[in-house]
Amino acid sequence: MEKRYTIGVMIGNANSPHTMNLMQGIFHAAKSMDVNVLFFLGIHSSYYYKSYFGEDTEDDYDYQFNVVYDYQAFADADALIIAYGSLCIFLDEKERKTFLDKYKDKPCVLVEERDHSGKATSIIADNYHGMYAVAEHLVRNHGYRRFTYLAGPHGNTDANERRQAVFDVMNAYKVSFDESRVAYGDFSSCVQQQVNQLLDENADKRAIENLLLRKRQIHDKILSHIIKREKEKFSTFQQESWFVPLISRDMLCHMDDEREFYRRSLVKLQALGAEASYFYIFEHPTAHFRNEEWHCPKRMYLTAYQSGEDIIAYEEDKRPEVVTTFAGEGKITRRKNHAQNYVATIFCLFSGEIQYGILVADIYSAYLSLFYLISRQIGNMLRMYQMSEEQKTMQRKLEILVREIQEKNEVLNFISESDALTGCMNRRGFIEKTLQMNRDHEGEELLILFADLDHLKEINDSFGHIEGDFSIRHCAEVLKKVVGADGIVGRIGGDEFCVVTLGNLKDGQQIIERIREESDAFNCTSDKEYYVELSAGCTSVICRNGLVIADALREADRALYEVKKLRRNFVKKIR
């Protein structure tokens, strides 16, 4: 099968009639010559913004659209057509060489510009002689002597040659003419300000009357046909543009399912004029700020594509990759019918300063404005998706942080409320837990028990502080055992413990008896040379609002004082 060539076309100022006509011509030529064409479509909208909204550089995102020319590296085109006449609006003389040098290793054809490198082919109209003949006819045949001239943009070779021809005619026929009678446009219709300024500064009533008369003499049928055609085009665009927000809605409704999110972006494109469309994203969103150097991503991934009614979307780990070092022989498109050529346009997908990828759409040039709107919608949805993912990531980090804080708070609470030696509540923790128990059991009887380790000082003095600590820990274990999980045990002093639990004085005496039994059992079997014993006293109160816990503790302490009078008066065991 004979190779079908793929031609990349770099073209700018896409919102001008001149560019639209050029694209239509290339479209028809591609179909008749059976070649593939990829339009790398730049936008020059600053004149439009200024004409409607005035000077506001925040509205000017031309620099974002125009990175599209670097994406030709992904296509691996066999040759390039560079419609330089539409690019030079935003390329000054210094940038011109830098721009063209990027493509010096690929066969190139420059349109509307001369090649000064000797490496490319140039196609340019004979602007000078054509404009010279027109201007000379007006002067010589009609006798006109007062002229104003609306020129194309500075830096455009076609515009420069036509302007020079006008000046040369005026000079040859001694017609008064200088730069004050020239204004500059951008090949768009947004030149009302320049035209008004020319007419205001060079008023000639007779010339204006003649101009208006000639306008009225335009054939009514031709005018009617043009108006009807443009109305039909606008009406169709207006009707179809109503559906563009549905793409955003569909994507927004599936932001929790990445694969479906990308698939939904293409669902309605066939109905809006796309024979096929391809949605690529970069490995990472890439920031591109005004007046800063742009670094083109090296790889991109096909998230989904539409071919006729079929729509295929890929899971993240299965997306086909395209890299600048090997672009797959220009196949950034995937057609079911390879016997048919394609003419596709590449749109940048960005929002603000962030570039996300490209949309490749196999569409007729009449749908460019509509798909421009679609690409802007998709770009903004990608920004929303990125923000949503960043929010989820931040939420996950916050949840982890909250858990860490909670765990650390639990540790801190344990440290602040617990006694390090025994694991019981310390004085602060015990008081807080007792207050909580009083609030939770209003109207119920609360038992408060005070206990004291007998002869701790003697144990420390005779056997050492390690043995003293052992005795304290053992007493804590005894109290926790006899009180159970429903009670609270606190160490509120060096050898002092306090217990609270629901119960009455009778329950308290039973607890004290069990403490004595546990102590006796330990002392009988222990090889310690001293006795480990607790003295305990108790009281009870009714849980109520206004209960003063300190008063209840003092009452229990008094009961303990009486019991301590009966304790063993020695600590060493008699062998």
Helix/strand/coil for 57: helix
Looking at this protein, which amino acid is placed at residue 93? E
Q: Is 503 left (phi over 0), alpha (psi -120 to 50) or beta?
A: left
Please give the Cα distance from 359 to 300 (Å, whole number): 12
CA distances from 146 to 17, 106, 181, 202 (A): 29, 48, 9, 9
Q: For residue 204, give both structure tokens.
A: 């000639």
Q: Which residues make Cβ contacts (< 8 Å) with residue 566, sequence separation at least 6?
A: 535
- Determine the straight-line distance between the first and last CA of the chain, rounded to whole angstroms: 112
**Which backbone phi and psi does 496 adopt, to 5 degrees?**
-105, 135
Please give the Cα distance from 549 to 541 (Å, whole number): 9
Helical packing angle, 456-463 and 465-483, nearest 10°: 140
Catalytic option among 76, 495, 527, 551: 495
Across 19-58, the runs of DSSP E, i.e. the strands, are 36-41
Looking at this protein, which amino acid is placed at residue 552? A
495 is catalytic: yes
Q: Which of 45, 31, 42 lies closest to 9, judged by CA?
A: 42
Q: Which of 508, 512, 497 lies closest to 427, judged by CA?
A: 497
Q: For residue 282, give both structure tokens.
A: 């970069």
Please list the active-site residues: 495
